Homo-oligomer: A and B are copies of this chain.
Amino acid sequence: MSIKIDPTKIKPYGDSLDDGRMQISFALPAPADEKGKEAARLLLKKMGLENIEVCYYSDLGEGFTHFVAYVSTNATIDLTKIEVKTVDTPVMDLEETDKFMAENVKRKITVVGACIESDAHTVGIDAIMNMKGYNHRFGLERYQYFRTINMGAQVPSEELLAKAVEENADVVLVSQVVTQKNIHIRNLTKLIELAEAEGLRDKMLFICGGPRISHELAIELGYDAGFGSGSYATDVASYIAFHFAK
């Protein structure tokens, strides 16, 4: 005998199969006393949760109270039905990509990249584009078949596209790190709409990246691909190489 998980009905796990246990922490505009605690409990109950244990509360001042609770959910998910769009080209290392491109692409691919609009977090795009790279993986600049132009921080969408046209870019790379109030969605949408309006959308590969970007989200926003936290130049280079080999 052993514990058996049904993948069609997975549930959070605390210490017993399917106990549905979750930890929740939040502030409420409620007093730091039994009444506030009851408000917290009722709120969690209203959210459909069970076995609610409000294990801690503390006065935050200004009429707010912090609550920590453990609860059980009844929700389940069918793991077998989940499909996520992920970049599915194989990942090659630098030498392999160089070799692959020498054989299958046979020309330099021009890549123009930037942190657009209000965003100045360049570390991510630098990690992908610049010589030095990230975590011991060199950036695109180091590859034999990429010509890279990294425009840096807070580049207006218009300027990025103008540069892409000027340089006859094959690929546009866009980074968005700040996500507060979905500003990244706003900025990414602006760029892609501009590209469409200017008839550039289908002439270049549009790739975005950032800690809250997934390939799925990128596709949804009209990009060709998206790369999230922990992606490396190797991922991006391989993807581009395969694209231009076709």
A→B interface (CB under 8 Å): 5, 7, 10-14, 21-30, 34-35, 37-39, 42-43, 46-49, 53, 63-64, 73, 75-77, 79, 82, 84, 86, 212, 214-216
Known: A11-B28, A12-B27. 16 other contacts (CB 8 A): A5-B29, A10-B39, A13-B28, A23-B26, A28-B77, A34-B86, A35-B82, A38-B82, A38-B84, A38-B216, A39-B79, A42-B77, A43-B76, A46-B75, A46-B76, A53-B212
Closest to A16 in B: B181
Cα–Cα, bound, A172→B140 (Å)? 76
Q: Mostly helix, strand, loop or mixed at chain A's interface?
A: mixed
Identical subunits present: 2
Contact check, A79 vs B214: say whether CB atoms are below 8 A apart.
no
Known: A24-B23, A79-B39. A47 touches B46 (CB 8 A): no
CB–CB A47/B75 < 8 A? yes
Residues of B within 8 A of A23 (CB): 24-26
> Which residues of the partner chain B approach A216 to less than 8 Å between Cβ atoms?
34, 38
Chain B residues whose CB sits within 8 angstroms of the CB of A27 once the complex forms = 12-14
A-B pairs, top 8 by smallest CB distance, nearest first, are A22-B26, A12-B26, A46-B75, A23-B25, A5-B29, A38-B84, A34-B84, A43-B77
